[in-house]
Amino acid sequence: MVSKEGELLVKILMFLSILGSTQGRRDAVEVRHRRLREASSFSSTPAAEYDYIIVGGGTAGCPLAATLSQNYSVLLLERGGSPYGNGNITRMQNFHIGLADTSPASPSQSFISTDGVINTRARVLGGGTCINAGFYSRASPSFVKAAGWDEELVNESYPWVERRIVYWPDVAPWQAALRDGLVEAGFSPFNGYTYDHIYGTKIGGTIFDKDGFRHTAADLLAAGNPENLRVLLHATVQKIVFDTKGRRPKAAGVRFKDENGKLHRALLKNARHSEVILSSGAIGSPQLLLLSGIGHKKHLKKLDVRLVLHNPHVGKGMSDNPLNSIFMPTRKPVRQSLIQTVGITKKGVFIEASSGFGQSSDSIRCHHGIMSAEIGQLSTIPPKQRSLEAAKRYARDKQNLPREAFQGGFILEKIDGPLSRGRLRLNDTDVDNNPSVTFNYFSHPYDLKRCVYGIRSIEEIVRTKRFARLTVDDAYTMRMLLNMSVQANVNLIPKHTNDTASVEQFCRDSVTTIWHYHGGCHVGKVVDGEYRVLGVSRLRVVDGSTFDRSPGTNPQATVMMMGRYMGAKILRKRLGRAAGA
Ligand SMILES: Cc1cc2nc3c(=O)[nH]c(=O)nc-3n(C[C@H](O)[C@H](O)[C@H](O)COP(=O)(O)OP(=O)(O)OC[C@H]3O[C@@H](n4cnc5c(N)ncnc54)[C@H](O)[C@@H]3O)c2cc1C
Ligand SMILES: *[C@@H]1O[C@H](CO)[C@@H](O)[C@H](O)[C@H]1NC(C)=O
Ligand SMILES: *[C@@H]1O[C@H](CO)[C@@H](O)[C@H](O)[C@H]1NC(C)=O
Ligand SMILES: *[C@@H]1O[C@H](CO)[C@@H](O)[C@H](O)[C@H]1NC(C)=O
Ligand SMILES: *[C@@H]1O[C@H](CO)[C@@H](O)[C@H](O)[C@H]1NC(C)=O
Ligand SMILES: *[C@@H]1O[C@H](CO)[C@@H](O)[C@H](O)[C@H]1NC(C)=O
Ligand SMILES: *[C@@H]1O[C@H](CO)[C@@H](O)[C@H](O)[C@H]1NC(C)=O
């Protein structure tokens, strides 16, 4: 006898295989049917204790849970819902639509840092990989060395991810133009298609397949052992529960809220090796440590959080790589593209591109790709004056923009390893609310200097013969665009000048984010080299909050790799090298 659910599953699998689906898509459907449950289902099952409780089913949490479940029982708690069947997530064309959704059910939770830059955090199984621009590129060998990672295991862990969810892109016209423009402007050699981090120009991988269908970290759960892996959705962890009877506080489990607001307690097995592992992201992990009583005692006291361990470093040293961009109007409309090409310069600046779509009269379809103003990425107002309301206003008003304003693409520059540092602090004790975050963009002069270099590099690329063929640069059009920029409140182009002070001003006024924020639980300050939280037992943090700088040109490859890597590392430690991982 085949169960009803089994029958449905078979039908869906057949349908997908008719569509010529990939292994990843079949795995995804399987995950959806077999293992995902709402958090409220927790109370209806007999009390269980787990070897590992992982908080956050995101970019690092999913591969980590899948790997540990090969040999141990794992409970994975994710505050968001399932990504499957949500077109805002699965379709590349909808990138900006999902991000603009600010409802409580949205897979992205927006926040504005005190700097005024509109930003977002994932809130869905699969985490950032469900809402990001999909570009996939590994960290440099020097990053791996500095992290103290086992190179051989790193070299096995990246392909574990790549085999399952990474593709080579069909290079879009705007990305091909950037590729040629970069090489012509001297950012050479052209290194072809590669995941590796090498100077020059390259095409990287992507988690979008040829049909523009997104594959995510949630798909990696299919590599786990279903007997050992329990995944709960809409399970919001409020705090880590500690056993404080001994000399050293010891994690015992977590307290979480289900989709109906009911509280539950999940417990670790009472064994030396059991662990709670936070993979809640660069905002979520420091926030949870603080809510659980690990942080600066003065700040915790102000909010009446019971102190477990005084550590003034929690939430310190956060940074976000500033993004600045220039719009190039083109003679003809260009196809939408997110990121496929990157120029890796020797001056600590990466150059990438994105193009929107403006062929339709439908205003929802007219957008600027990753630079869309409705997601907070474009504004002529300096950051301090930006707001979510202003972004909404833009979305309404953009109907009045002429189509030319959407005909073209952006070239953007990101600064590698910003020296400007900020901090994260609790604003209140509700885990659903964002903490207060400050990045202090360009507070370090070297960051500003690199932005100026980046903008000038973009100008050089724009002046290449390759771009001259594509773009409109007569004085009339430029004037019109500038005027339009002011009316529409978008920074389509900067005022042309080669005076350093005004390029610096342009950097400050037009700064946005590429969402690569990191830090808050730094190695040596909050966690040790194995990512164990200092001063307590049975607690680790495995995600981008432990990074001192964002890996590679874009971080997702290395964050997923790190989840797999740490899972394998933990298994090897407990089982010896013979562990299947
Ligand atoms: C719009 C956007 C575009 C991007 N583009 C790219 C790109 O093209 N290429 C690239 O390499 N990188 C890109 N990035 C960056 C990359 O996606 C992130 O750096 C990465 O996904 C972060 O991984 P993480 O594991 O640290 O956090 P996340 O993936 O965010 O995982 C954290 C998870 O924890 C959950 N969580 C948090 N708190 C709790 C709690 N209390 N209880 C339960 N669950 C909780 C969250 O819901 C989330 O699912 C982009 C990011 C964004 C937002
Ligand atoms: C997609 O996003 C739009 C808003 O940006 C929202 O109205 C819609 O409900 C979302 N769809 C789903 C399936 O969540
Ligand atoms: C791992 O891969 C990198 C890049 O592909 C290579 O340079 C390095 O030699 C490899 N290291 C090991 C130990 O295999
Ligand atoms: C912090 O809390 C106050 C009061 O609840 C609120 O007005 C403010 O918007 C919050 N700040 C952030 C950054 O969420
Ligand atoms: C900008 O556009 C407005 C309205 O179309 C027009 O009145 C004004 O003269 C223009 N300004 C410049 C500098 O072109
Ligand atoms: C740039 O500056 C140089 C020297 O300061 C000047 O000669 C040149 O005309 C300027 N170019 C432009 C396009 O303003
Ligand atoms: C761990 O799991 C792997 C994969 O399921 C299996 O091959 C291996 O035998 C297991 N090891 C132990 C010690 O149970």
Q: Is 205 helix (H, G, I), strand (E, B) or coil?
A: strand
Is residue 70 in contact with ligand 4, taking CB distance under 6 Å? no
In this structure, are 551 and 506 located in the same domain?
no
Number of domains in the chain: 2
What is the Å distance from ligand 3's center to 151 Cα?
Answer: 7
Which residues make Cβ contacts (< 8 Å) with residue 82, sequence separation at least 6?
Answer: 32, 36, 124, 125, 218, 233
Mean pLDDT of 345-358: 93
Contact 237, 77 (CB under 8 A): yes
Does the pLDDT value for residue 332 go beyond 90?
no
Q: Say if 42 falls within a structural domain.
A: no
What is the overall mean pLDDT for the chain? 89
534 within a domain of the structure (yes/no): yes
Average pLDDT in the 425-432 region? 98
Q: Is 516 annotated as a binding residue?
A: yes
pTM of the model: 0.92
Give the DSSP letter string of 376-395. Answer: T---SS-GGG--HHHHHHHH
Q: What count of other Cβ atoms lies within 10 Å of the Cβ of residue 279?
A: 31
Closest ligand to 498 CA? 6
Question: Residues 72-91: pLDDT tens digits?
Answer: 999 999 999 999 999 999 99
**Reported confidence tier of residue 374, pLDDT bands at 50, 70, 90:** confident
Q: What tokens does 263 get?
A: 């509280």
Task: For residue range 117-130, list pLDDT tens digits in order.
Answer: 999 999 999 999 99
Give CA–CA dist 87/92, Å, rounded: 9
Q: How confident is the model at residue 13 (pLDDT cuts 50, 70, 90)?
A: very low
The C-alpha atoms of residue 25 and residue 40 are separated, in whole angstroms, by 27
Residue 351 shares a structural domain with residue 219 = no
Summarize the confidence of residues 196-212 as an average pLDDT.
97
pLDDT in tens, 159-182: 999 999 999 999 999 999 999 999
Average pLDDT over residues 546-554: 98
Pocket test for ligand 3, best of 144, 145, 151, 154 (most atoms within 8 A of CB): 151
Q: Could you tell me the CATH number of the domain that includes residue 194?
A: 3.30.410.40
Residues 543 and 523 in one domain: yes
| 516 is a catalytic site residue | yes
Q: Is 436 in the pocket of ligand 4 (CB under 6 A)?
A: yes
Q: How far is the CA of 427 from the centre of ligand 4 (A)?
A: 6
Residue 29 pLDDT greater than 70, yes or no: no
- pLDDT, residue 581, reads 66
**In sequence order, what DSSP letters do the residues of 101-126 get, joined into one string?**
--STT-SEEEEE-TT--EEEEE-BTT
Q: What is the pLDDT of residue 226?
A: 94
Side-chain half-sphere CA neighbours of 381 within 13 A: 19
Quick one: pLDDT at residue 18?
A: 36
- Report if residue 329 sits inside a domain: yes
Evaluate: CB of 71 within 6 angstroms of ligand 7.
yes
CATH number for 555: 3.50.50.60
What tens digit of pLDDT does each residue of 446-502 get?
999 999 999 999 989 988 999 888 887 667 776 676 666 666 555 565 554 567 778
Residue 2 has a pLDDT of 36
CA distances from 200 to 123, 381, 412, 460 (A): 35, 34, 16, 15
CA 111 to centroid of ligand 6, rounded, Å = 40
Cα–Cα distance measured from residue 377 to residue 490, given in angstroms and rounded to the nearest whole number? 9
Please check the confidence at residue 420 and state whether its pLDDT lies above 70: yes
Q: Which ligand is nearest to the CA of 111?
A: 4
Residue 377 has pLDDT above 90, yes or no: no
Mutate to test the pocket of ligand 4, among 427, 431, 438 (most ligand atoms within 8 A of CB): 427
Look up the domain containing 394 and give its range. 170-203+322-416+442-510
Is the same domain home to 233 and 340? Answer: no
Average pLDDT over residues 366-384: 83
Protein residue closest via CA to atom 7 of ligand 4: 427
Q: In angstroms, rounded to a whole number, what is the distance separating the alpha carbons of residues 29 and 301?
A: 46
Question: Which residue type, as a one-letter code, is found at position 509?
Answer: D
CB atoms within 10 A of CB 402: 12
Q: How far is the CA of 198 from the centre of ligand 3 (A)?
A: 13
The answer to whether 286 and 56 are in contact (CB under 8 A) is no
Q: Is residue 449 part of a domain?
A: yes
Query: Is 249 part of a structural domain of the chain?
Result: yes
Same domain, 263 and 351: no
Are residues 176 and 62 part of one domain? no
Q: Which of 458, 479, 510 is the last residue of a domain?
A: 510
**Model confidence band, residue 425 (pLDDT cutoffs 50, 70, 90):** very high
Sequence-ordered list of residues with C-beta below 8 angstroms from that of 126, at least 6 positions apart, any chain: 57, 58, 59, 62, 83, 89, 216, 217, 218, 219
Q: Is the CB of 101 under 6 A from ligand 2?
A: yes
On whether both 60 and 106 belong to a single domain, the answer is yes
* Per-residue model confidence (pLDDT) at position 470: 86
Q: How confident is the model at residue 1 (pLDDT cuts 50, 70, 90)?
A: very low
Q: Is the peptide bond before 189 cis (omega within 30 degrees of 0)?
A: yes
- Take atom 7 of ligand 7 and give the residue whose Cα is closest: 580
Model pLDDT, residue 500: 78
pLDDT value at residue 11: 38
Question: For the CA atoms of 199, 203, 205, 206, what is the dihedral angle to 10 degrees?
Answer: 130
Look at ligand 5, atom 10, and give the residue with the nearest C-alpha: 483
Size (the chain), residues: 581
Strand partners, 109: 121
pLDDT at 19: 40
Which residue has the least CA distance to atom 14 on ligand 3? Answer: 152
